[in-house]
Amino acid sequence: MKVGILSFQGSFLDHSKSISEIGFNPLLIKQSKDLDFIDALILPGGESTAMKKINEFSGLLSKLDQIIKDGIPTLTTCAGTILLAKEVIGGEETIPNIDIEITRNAYGRQTESFEGNVKFFENEDIYCFIRAPKISKILSDEVDIIAEHNDEIVGAAQKNVVALTFHPELNNDEYYLNWLYDFILEGKNVRSF
């Protein structure tokens, strides 16, 4: 299985390590032709504004939008979640594919980044929030809440898209890696193993 990871900038190398760890092949996506060979997709954390600027030269996001809408299993973290949100507080929508409202830099600037306890499905662990956004509103009954930090929504899923505001790829704990393996194989929101 080949998992494409948007590689404009951000934490794409950390996601690449996660994919290798579970026995799949990571493919760093920098141009449209790279998308022809993938079975799943990851849009990493980083800086969503920078990703949009880089896209002006590649035009890659419109093709990403189409393959996501066609049903490819898609995981987003942090800035990647901003790119897919239907509504963005403090920014603009880019390629909306999940019915959430997201607030950019909800916990503050880079210096306010932190590690915090997250309930991700039935598991609880400590994960990193780096200049993190927050899912401020669920906009559809089709969206499931899958992760919370202090009663705040930090993870949601709709159809083939799982959107997280934290960085599980920096921990690579056993629960996350098992979930990721199943999500990529099954192509949808995975609740149990």
Provide CB contacts within 8 A for 8, sequence distance 6+: 30, 46, 50, 51, 54, 55, 58, 60
Query: What is the percentage of the chain residues whose pLDDT exceeds 70?
Result: 88
Cite the DSSP H helix spans in 8-126: 12-21, 48-58, 60-69, 79-84
pTM greater than 0.85 (yes/no): yes
- Tell me whether residue 167 is one of the annotated catalytic residues: yes
Which position among 15, 128, 149, 167 bears the catalytic label?
A: 167
**What type of residue sits at position 41?**
L
Instruction: Answer whether residue 148 shows pLDDT above 70.
Output: yes
The mean pLDDT value of the chain amounts to 88
Identify residue 113 by its one-letter amino acid code.
S
Cβ atoms < 10 Å from Cβ of 32: 14
47 has a pLDDT exceeding 90: no
- What number is the average pLDDT over the span 148-159? 95
Q: 160 pLDDT exceeds 90?
A: yes
Active-site residue among 15, 78, 128, 149? 78
Q: What is the pLDDT of residue 61?
A: 87
Q: Positive or negative CA dihedral for 104, 107, 110, 113? A: negative
Which position among 21, 115, 169, 174 bears the catalytic label? 169
User: pLDDT value at position 190?
Assistant: 53
Least confident of 15-29, 47-61, 147-161, 176-190: 47-61
- Where are the chain's structural domains? 2-186
Q: Which of 103, 128, 107, 115 shows the shortest CA–CA distance to 45? A: 128
- CA geometry: angle 48, 3, 137, nearest 5 deg: 40
32 or 137, which is more confident: 137
pLDDT at residue number 192? 40
CA diameter of the chain: 42
- Categorize the per-residue pLDDT at 109 as very low, low, confident or very high, splitting at 50, 70 and 90: low
pLDDT digits (tens, 9 = 90+) for 116-136: 999 999 899 999 888 889 999
Question: Residues 6 or more apart from 133 whose CB is under 8 A from it?
Answer: 78, 79, 81, 82, 102, 103, 104, 105, 106, 165
One CATH from 3.40.50.880, 3.30.70.890, 3.40.50.510, 3.40.109.10 for 2-186: 3.40.50.880
